[in-house]
Structure 1
Amino acid sequence: MKKISLFLIILFFSQTKAQYIIHSQLQPVPNIGTAFASYKTNNGETIGLASSFILNQTSEITAINIFGFQQSQTLTSLCNGLILYVYNDNSGVPAGHPIQQTGTPVIAVNISNSTQGYSIVNTSDNNYTVTVDIAALPGQAILQGNTKYWLFFVPKLNIDALSIYSPQKFNWWGAAAGTPEYMRISNLTGAAAYPTWTAYPYHGAAFSIQGLTLGTDEVADAYTDIKVYPNPTSDFVNIISKEKITNVSLFDSSSKRIPVTINSNVVDMSALPSGSYILKLETTQKSVIRKIIRK
């Protein structure tokens, strides 16, 4: 069974930052409601959708949960990777084509193995939750508040050809409520052909987003004021800051605080096991966070 660990980093740093479900649109009742075939096969045939969403606050994204079902209940054994893209909006459609590989996603996950980066949980009967570990990506995945984005997702299934009637296909649940925009796309022929984004009058797909909401100062710092390198690292992390660092805290993936000191703006991580960590840096004016990967 292919079940991959996912880091769910729960940190409560300050009043301007907290990690939790920052966006959610779910199906009304399991096994009831609209669902959409969404998957890619071994021969490259793909059918999928993009669901629009708007976050209330600018946030660093740490995980995205996809809710769906599969009649044959073999998703964990058939899945050998996935594609997840988040696109900007371009006049009411996604600013990119995931099949033709045009446009640049603001978040891009394209995994062709089953060893890292996501987990598949059979929640009940033929229902599944696929969780994609955005925090494991290099750098920070920051989405702006009050801005429309589009989420595209397909699992890569070990199936030779695509059939929208196959019990092995993955079906992405439709949402009971949410941003009412949803678009189809495929590289198929016939009735299921959607060579360009095709709008449908539904309430989007069922998913949730986990993340860290960021204050205004922290968003600016994420791009300019504080630099942390190298990242990933095998031993030391160097910090460049325009302001004096007054305190440093390090947390592992279970939110446990790890004793650490800073000496001449260098943090020693050489004795720590490989994995993802959250580094909190405090100055006299503000606090910021950085995701650090220890190789």
Structure 2
Amino acid sequence: MKNFILPFLTFIISIALHAQNVVISRPADAEYGTLSIQSSEENSGIFSADNFELTEETALGELDVYGYVEDGIDYSSLLVGINVYIYEDNSGVPAGNPSQSGTGVLELHNIDPSLFTLEANNDGEVNFKSIKIKEANGGSAVILPAGSYWLSVSAYATGSFSEQEYIKPWSWMGSTTENSAAQVQIIDPEDILEFGVTSWIPYSSTLGESFPTCAWELRDEAMSSIEDNIIEGFKMYPSLVDDILNLKATNDIINVSIYNLLGQKVLNTPETTINMSGLPSGTYIVKVNTTREEGSYKVIKK
């Protein structure tokens, strides 16, 4: 019995450590949605964004997004990938947009279909399920501090906005379950629809009636799964760094990469005595490679 119980408990603990918690849940229960589509041929598009709040530091795990297209369209043959952008809040609107590279805290353009599940049916539903944020970000964890943000998701599909090869638009379904702090926004940076919506405006103002939030669900990545201590004899000190971070391991350390909470690499070195004085205060992920192993660890810079 003992031989059975120990592996079983280890299995249960492993599941608990890597379980994902639902952070945001907005079910698809509205009768209509808002356009959010980009042409893979022209790179022009019409984008929508939904506001959300994080009450604590959160590592982004997987994302489900619910939408629809015109009935009878096989969207699997048209979809190239999807775009996921996250922006900070700027007085009730996103502090950037998908046509302006570098304005988002997270910009995942043309996520490969292998990193999400396309769920479609004959009624026109086209959902993007289990979008793997970390993998789409090149394997780097994405950790956002508490605050107000905007999520913009769009289909990246074949076709153009010309009359000859008109793109088949995807719409992000609405949700009536939860009220966000700000209204859903829409932008048409190149004025494709000729409505003059070249800056973010509330989608409700184009409809003439109230529009709910958008339908999506965000699950977190357990913080314990980010810190993966598998390197033999590894030591890292101090845990609260003023200037110098020291690393030791049984096998030779050949490379160290340090990432900020947005998954951006801020330092790369083969050294085991690392000067972090030039980095802002905050939490960082330290990825360590030895001649035989690899591990990731959290450190706080004072």
> TM-score normalized by structure 1?
0.63
User: Kindly tell me: are residues 200 and 37 of structure 1, through their superposed partners in 2, closer, same or farther at Cα, counting changes over 3 Å?
Assistant: closer
Q: Among 183, 197, 201, which residue is 2:200 paired with?
A: 197
How far apart in 1 are the matches of 2:160 and 2:232? 46
Equivalent residue, structure 2, for 1:101: 101
Partner of 1:49: 48
Change in 2 beyond 3 A, CA 1:203/1:291: farther
Q: Which has the larger Rg?
A: 2
1:74–1:168 CA contact under 8 A, matched in 2: no
Aligned to 1:20: 21
Alpha-carbon separation, structure 1, partners of 2:191 and 2:234? 50
The CA distance in 2 between the partners of 1:34 and 1:70, in whole Å, is 11
Aligned length, in residue pairs: 222
Partner of 2:161: 161
8 A contact 1:122–1:128 mirrored in 2: yes
Q: TM-score, normalised by structure 2?
A: 0.61
Aligned equivalent of 1:241:
236
Structure 1 residues not aligned, in runs of 5+: 1-9, 230-235, 245-262, 268-288
| Paired residues for 1:252-263 under 5 Å | none
Q: Could you report, residue by residue, the CA deviation over 1:142-187 in whole angstroms, capped at 9, with x for unpaired residues?
A: 1223x11000111111112268xx7921111011133152111112
Alignment of 1:158-237 (within 5 A): 158-161=158-161, 168-178=168-178, 179=180, 180-186=182-188, 187-201=190-204, 202-212=211-221, 214=223
Q: Distance in 2 between matches of 1:18 and 1:99?
A: 35
The structure in which a higher percent of residues are helix is 2
The answer to whether the 8 A contact 1:46-1:162 is kept is no
- 8 Å CA contact 1:84–1:109 kept in 2: the answer is yes
The answer to whether the 8 Å contact 2:47/2:98 transfers is no
1:129 aligns with 2:127: yes
Superposition deviation, residue 203 in structure 1: 2.5
Counterpart contact for 1:237–1:266, Cα < 8 Å: no
- Cα distance change of structure 1 residues 43 and 86 upon mapping to structure 2, 3 Å threshold: same
Residue 142 (structure 2) aligns with:
141
Q: 1:48 to 1:291 in 2, by over 3 A?
A: farther
Aligned-residue sequence identity (percent) comes to 19
Calculate the aligned-residue CA RMSD, in Å: 3.8
Residue of structure 2 in register with 1:284 after alignment: none
Taking structure 1 as reference, are residues 57 and 264 closer, same or farther at Cα in structure 2, changes over 3 Å only? same
- Gaps (5+ residues) in structure 2? 1-13, 205-210, 240-248, 254-284, 295-302
Deviation at 1:109, TM superposition (A): 0.7
Alpha-carbon deviation of 1:191? 4.5
The code of the aligned residue for 2:170 comes to F
Q: Deviations over 1:38-91 (max 9, x none)?
A: 111222330111100113432110111110011233221101122210111112
Aligned equivalents of 1:33, 1:238: Cα separation in 2: 58
The letter for the 2-side match of 1:98 is P
Paired residues of 2:161 and 2:192 also in contact (CA < 8 A): no
What residue in structure 2 maps to residue 5 of structure 1?
Answer: none
Please state how far the C-alpha of 1:128 moved relative to its aligned partner: 2.1
Mapping 1:64-143, distance limit 5 Å: 64-71=63-70, 72-101=72-101, 103=103, 105-111=104-110, 114=112, 116-122=114-120, 125-131=123-129, 132-136=131-135, 137=137, 138-143=139-144
